Structure 1
């Protein structure tokens, strides 16, 4: 299913990869089903759309370096693009019209999300109203209408590859796959099999092609097998299957200028990344990822450069209940890309109140940015590309 949306003056093409089984709303319990072929819809600023095979990436000019003034950008790109990222969000506590409730919850930060060419958010929930909760401390679910509210708040893609994406078992998984078909924005990190779950959402922005892949490194041992998408099993894209994730990134680099890996990873309440996170970041950077961004710890973690790849270890809570002062620290990360590389970062700090992210202003914002920058001290990341 292809759809498009308008972001300010920029019209962005969205491609959602769906399987024949998901399109029909049916499929076997093991998630087998025939895959549909990918296509890209390009929409001009005048609103004229054409659909066809995904175009090849624009060729770069010899010696192009986006950090050198006067250097010539790739032939198909007309300007740098911006992509915004937001952390853990859910629909818990909303009643009645969930779409409207989600719009209200995201509204304080919606202008920041909408200002970017693209925005990506972690949706920490199963998209279902059925099923039985998996035995665990916290289980979250929301109706498919939550996607409408998220889309109307300036978000262009959501990931459900996280430790709540299958909180309501296989029934919830099938409903989430069905919701993906009719969603106004791509839902990534879930699929009828591993290939589908690792398939990127693809966008074309002002001549720059973007691929967004999502996966989770956080899967409890008790559900590891039943939640993991494999060649013969529906589920979530697992970052524990490193070789498969690495291959997906390498394949995406063949026909995308910018490749984003959006991850659920790390250790809860920690503000420094784990050795496992650092190792995976290095692997994905070597595979060609332009940026590796994620969260899970419900705390802010560092962002910065690992050579030429931008890595952000933890976005913290966003539209999610904060249970402490530390977990209330939030923000939106906006990255600028030129020539397939990050050339600038911007952290818009905020505070979570009543499960809603509110931007900080004045001295409070300045102190929060300084604190965010200080997190690099334990992360081994640089303030500029190497």
Structure 2
């Protein structure tokens, strides 16, 4: 169920046989054999993404390889189905219909699903906020044009590990549905939790890895015991980033584009923390092309870093309360990338454009007014400056 502006969607690669070489040997032993790849989605319209005044075009890199054309990747922040949003799941196919056109305009759209998913289980004792959604939440996201969601966050196990079997059933069903949806950042062991979702877009392999470092936030409930291990299910926890960095290096060997979506930072803080900035640099150094994230519930800076592109905070996106002027500001970050040529890393992102939006009383974002979009651009420049990123 795609909007009229939806571009040609990619072909899913099974996570058990993701990429050739090292990724295959590393993941085959720890990924479920029944995680099958859906067949290619049919192509739709080739219309361009919405033009925004915050676009920053740049000359594309040149190489001796055949030009496979650009790939448009859209990233958005936190989504859940609490409060006023819960009733929308009575009709999952239209639950996010107001934002379907903007979410489905890119070749690949990635979001953070900020909730426990499935049935059974009980709210975690002592946790102030516990979020829950039925499996139909994945149907709603796929119908709206989202291709990959991460569940590596501090709400994925709000109803305990007893819920995880139903979570994994829902994840498998979503991957086989039409349209399909891949879920990363959670798994039956650490290998599966850190495994990337790989989508082929017109010959370009885009790999997305999800991980959480929310435990570094002193304002957040501790979730370190939610980490998946070699023998226990859970989320991809990267407070110790060694496993995440190793996964990025392995994925880099075969993927054309590597995206890392992190749950990180400090809630309510506009500028990234020292830990965020250090991890971003390490991830780009390991081979990540795009490093994006959420958790602060505010927009944070985006820009270039050492040949990669970083968006520290994407804010809330579909959220039960708009909150104040800062927390209701949101949008879709549209990144245009080109396949990597041989040789030194080129300036890989050739265009970065925000579609400015505001979260309303219904919990959904809508297009910002002209005056609000102007303030958005000014604020973006300020946020980039305190993030140490380049335009």
TM-score (norm 1): 0.83
Distance 2:251 2:3 in 1: 23
Task: Evaluate the alpha carbon distance shift between residue 34 and residue 97 of structure 1 in structure 2; reply closer, same or farther with a 3 A threshold.
Answer: same
Distance 2:173 2:4 in 1: 18
Displacement of 1:230 after TM fit? 1.2
Distance 1:123 1:259 in 2: 20
Task: Evaluate the alpha carbon distance shift between residue 166 and residue 6 of structure 1 in structure 2; reply closer, same or farther with a 3 A threshold.
Answer: farther
| Equivalent of 1:381 in 370, 378, 389 | 389
| Equivalent of 1:364 in 355, 372, 382 | 372
Distance 1:289 1:248 in 2: 10
Q: Which residue of 1 aligns with 2:120?
A: 130
| Equivalent of 1:167 in 140, 158, 161 | 158
Displacement of 1:171 after TM fit? 1.4
Displacement of 1:363 after TM fit? 2.8
Aligned to 1:248, what secondary structure does the other structure show? helix
Distance 2:374 2:138 in 1: 33
Q: Which residue of 1 aligns with 2:143?
A: 152
Displacement of 1:5 after TM fit? 12
| Equivalent of 1:342 in 349, 364, 371 | 349
Displacement of 1:100 after TM fit? 2.5
Distance 1:313 1:9 in 2: 26
Aligned to 2:199, what secondary structure does the other structure show? strand
- Comparing 155-164 and 358-367, the one that deviates more: 358-367
CA contact (8 A) 2:208 2:259 kept: yes
Q: Which residue of 1 aligns with 2:73?
A: 83
Q: CA RMSD in A?
A: 2.8
Displacement of 1:206 after TM fit? 1.1
CA contact (8 A) 2:12 2:40 kept: no
Distance 1:308 1:10 in 2: 27
- Comparing 199-208 and 90-99, the one that deviates more: 90-99
Distance 1:128 1:257 in 2: 33
Structure 2 unaligned blocks of 5 or more:
18-28, 45-56, 175-179, 341-347
Q: Does 1:218 align with 2:209?
A: no
Displacement of 1:145 after TM fit? 0.6
Q: Which residue of 2 aligns with 1:107?
A: 97
- Cα-to-partner distance string for 1:80-105 (whole Å, 9 max, x where unaligned): 0110001011011244561626844x
Q: Which residue of 2 aligns with 1:14?
A: 12
Distance 1:373 1:34 in 2: 42
Q: Does 1:325 align with 2:339?
A: no
- Comparing 291-300 and 108-117, the one that deviates more: 108-117
Distance 2:356 2:389 in 1: 20
Alignment of 1:253-264 (within 5 A): 253-264=252-263
Q: Which residue of 2 aligns with 1:98?
A: 89
Q: Which residue of 2 aligns with 1:288?
A: 287
Structure 1 unaligned blocks of 5 or more:
20-31, 48-65
Task: Evaluate the alpha carbon distance shift between residue 120 and residue 70 of structure 1 in structure 2; reply closer, same or farther with a 3 A threshold.
Answer: closer
- Cα-to-partner distance string for 1:343-381 (whole Å, 9 max, x where unaligned): 110011111112111111323212212212321111100
Displacement of 1:118 after TM fit? 0.5
TM-score (norm 2): 0.82
Distance 1:82 1:230 in 2: 34
- Comparing 314-323 and 9-18, the one that deviates more: 9-18
Distance 2:324 2:92 in 1: 23
Aligned to 1:108, what secondary structure does the other structure show? helix
Distance 2:34 2:246 in 1: 19
Q: Does 1:43 align with 2:33?
A: no
Aligned to 1:326, what secondary structure does the other structure show? coil
What is the aligned length? Answer: 347
CA contact (8 A) 1:99 1:149 kept: no
| Equivalent of 1:141 in 132, 147, 151 | 132
RCO greater where, 1 or 2, for CA within 8 Å and sep 6 or more?
A: 2
- Comparing 38-47 and 200-209, the one that deviates more: 38-47
